[in-house]
Structure 1
Amino acid sequence: MSIALSVLDLVPVRTGQTSAEALTSSMDLVAAADKLGYRRYWFAEHHNMPAVASTSPPVLIAAAAARTERIRLGSGGVMLPNHAPLIVGEQFAALEALAPGRIDLGLGRAPGSDPVITQLLRRTGTTSEADQFPQHVQDVLQLMSPEGATVRFTSGGTYDVHATPDAAAAPTVWLLGSSDFSAQLAAQLGLPYVFANHFAGDGIERAMSLYRQGFVPSEHHDKPLSFITANVIVAPTAAEAEERALPQLRQFARLRSNKPLQKIETIDEVLANPSDALEDSLMQQNRQRWFIGEPAKVADELSAFAERIGVDEVMISASAGAYDREPKAETPGRLQTLELLAGALL
């Protein structure tokens, strides 16, 4: 099966690495993805996490647009409960004007952090506005459209609002999720849908089935459109690929076991400090869902997975770790994954 490949980037920060170095390596990576033939490159939104420098997708998308020529760029995603719909609409309408026809706006319902950060982002209390997510999605769509939105006052009268003065086109809006809720909402609104398999693999078949069966054609799309994400690590040998998987696998295990998060360890650090029993068990569980190995093996597994789920695109989170000896402003393991996988599939 022929599949398209895309990239999801959290801009990981490893031991001894600064945010500037992590961002430099990601900008080099998106430039490489552009040349290698990847379809799209999305930046995630996470806050107050020592291992993640992807806090502001619009800023990173703008920087990536200046480094690329044809690849689609987007958010994977903007966590809408954290932001006013008008701000999101303005940011992505501006990005669309900067890189016409290349901008995706992926929207998520989770806050992407803890209640304290949620309060600092929206200043509406310790809970996010997730319950208003369906309406806010529609608000963003309307605000970015050439027609704009109309505010109707209870006392009478209206007020026209546009995310940009004269929109020639709007970004493609995608809904992201790992539950039935987002799948059903995307179907009801006639929007594309992405299942976040890279961190939540359970329920993927049910969610995709609900989306396809419930899809209502809209002015945006006349048929269902979806893809899936996956953690992928490719190296010239299986042994190297397995080693490069260790730092992120242990980071996931720390997250699942509610241990304090830290910068992502190097491979050398993980090998020098074996995991405890709980971490090891969680790492083994997560390992079963990841695609790790030599190029041909991973290419075959990804193709089979995409065919089973019924999609023609997979967005990879290139989760390869780094060795101590590797330059801080580079990400050889992630770049190697993109190059080897492109050689096998694209």
Structure 2
Amino acid sequence: MSDLPTLSVLDLVPVRSDQDTADAIAATLALARVADDLGYRRYWLAEHHNMPAVAATNPPVLIGMVAGATRRLRVGSGGVMLPNHAPLVVAEQFALLEAAYPGRIDLGIGRAPGTDPVTGWALRHGAGGVTDEAVSRFPEYVENVLAMMEPDGVGLAVQGRTHVLRATPAARSVPQIWLLGSSDYSALLAAEKGMPYVFAHHFSGNGTGEALALYRSRFRPSPELAAPRTFLTVNASVAADAAEARRRALPQLQMMLALRSGQPLGPQVSVEEAEQAELSDAQWASIDAMAERWVIGTPAEARTRIADLAASYDVDEVMVNSVAGAAAGTEPGTSPAREETLRLLVG
């Protein structure tokens, strides 16, 4: 990887129309082992709920699976959507993961719900309050998580007495904690708290430069971080032939089109099914515009594109969401095209 920035992996644990949840998890574990063997730095797992094509509903559970199946990768959340959860629960989960895999756990924290309003209510019922309250208290929740994972814990004043809350009885280390976002809000909060920050470039591709510039200009050093630290996230489909790389990206491109236009979602279709989809000229134009922001092409083209993005945004690490779809007849517990994207990127 000497000619590239350091590479990492983002995984939403996609579920195809030929898979059940067990198959999708098996494919993720296989992909993580490939990333581990190839020398990728991190493997982050997303949090999305009640979506027919995404099995990444519970990052801490998946992190434990992936960390146990790999040797050297840093494994983390990209991210835990904190307003969905009680801060103490998140702190407990990640304190245990860090204890089990010391020096290998990342906690990426986000503010978005990662789901629809009804599912969001079900997630928060009895734990995080109503949506507006949970979101408005996000900075407080972040502080709580940080403090609870420290060996000394945090003091909670109740009826004139101080009760100490610790995420785990005897912490020796804490996970590396990042703030994630797709707006200026998290960039400013990360800068104010002196935390590392990642903008969700893979999701929109818009506003990345502005958010990173704001984060860097407002950054205040903290005991944990002396200078700004960030990296870039991208969607990628890589194949020996550029047309094949674009073909493999079609299922994910069409799913993102459906998500953004409010159409019903289903499991991810095969490459052949995506090719047969009947779309309007306007829909194909939207897909083309999205594809322009993704890394799609041959290995040489993809490496050049990633190197250019890293230089443009002044980052030394790029996290790849491998979005290459599967051909009809692919073994359900595997994702060979996603694995090939990772292999071809490193040469």
**Normalised TM-score (structure 1):** 0.97
Residue 312 of structure 2, aligned match among 308, 315, 331: 308
Give the structure 2 partner of residue 137 of structure 1.
142
Cα distance in 1, alignment partners of residues 223 and 340 from structure 2: 40
**Alignment partner of 1:259: what SS?**
coil
- 2:101 is aligned to 99
1:126 is displaced (CA, Å) by 5.6
Structure 2: state its 5+ residue gaps.
Answer: none
Q: How does 1:177-192 map to 2 (within 5 A)?
A: 177-192=181-196
Alignment of 1:49-128 (within 5 A): 49-123=51-125, 124-125=129-130, 127=132
Q: How big is the shift at 1:277?
A: 3.2
Q: How does 1:193-342 map to 2 (within 5 A)?
A: 193-342=197-346
Shift of 1:128: 6.2
With 271-280 and 175-184 compared, the bigger mean Cα shift is at 271-280
Provide the rounded CA distance (Å) in 1 between the counterparts of 2:71 and 2:253: 33
2:49 is the alignment partner of 1:44: no
- For 2:170, give the aligned amino acid: D
Contact map agreement 2:83 2:131 (CA 8 A) in 1: no
Counterpart residue identity of residue 294, structure 1: T
Note the residue ranges of structure 1 that are not aligned, 5 or more in a row.
Answer: none
Contact 1:93 1:164 in 2 (8 A): yes
SS at 1:301 equivalent: helix
Structure 1 counterpart SS, 2:224: coil
1:279: Cα distance to partner?
A: 2.5
- Contact 1:145-1:167 within 8 A present in 2 as well: yes
Distance 1:126 1:141 in 2: 22
What's the secondary structure of 2:293's corresponding residue?
coil
Which one-letter code corresponds to 1:335 in the other structure? E
Matches of 2:220 and 2:244, distance apart in 1:
46
The 8 Å contact of residues 267 and 322 in structure 1, kept in 2 or not, is answered as yes
Asked whether the equivalents of residues 4 and 303 of structure 2 are also in contact (C-alpha less than 8 Å), the reply is no
Counterpart secondary structure, 2:337: helix
Q: What aligned pairs does 1:142-157 form with structure 2 within 5 A after superposition? A: 142-153=147-158, 155-157=159-161
Aligned residues: 342
Shift of 1:232: 0.7
Residue identity in the other structure for 1:64: V
CA apart distance, 1:15: 1.1
**Per the alignment, do residues 150 and 159 of structure 1 end up closer, same or farther by CA in structure 2, a change over 3 Å counting?**
same
Instruction: Provide TM-score, normalisation by structure 2.
Output: 0.97
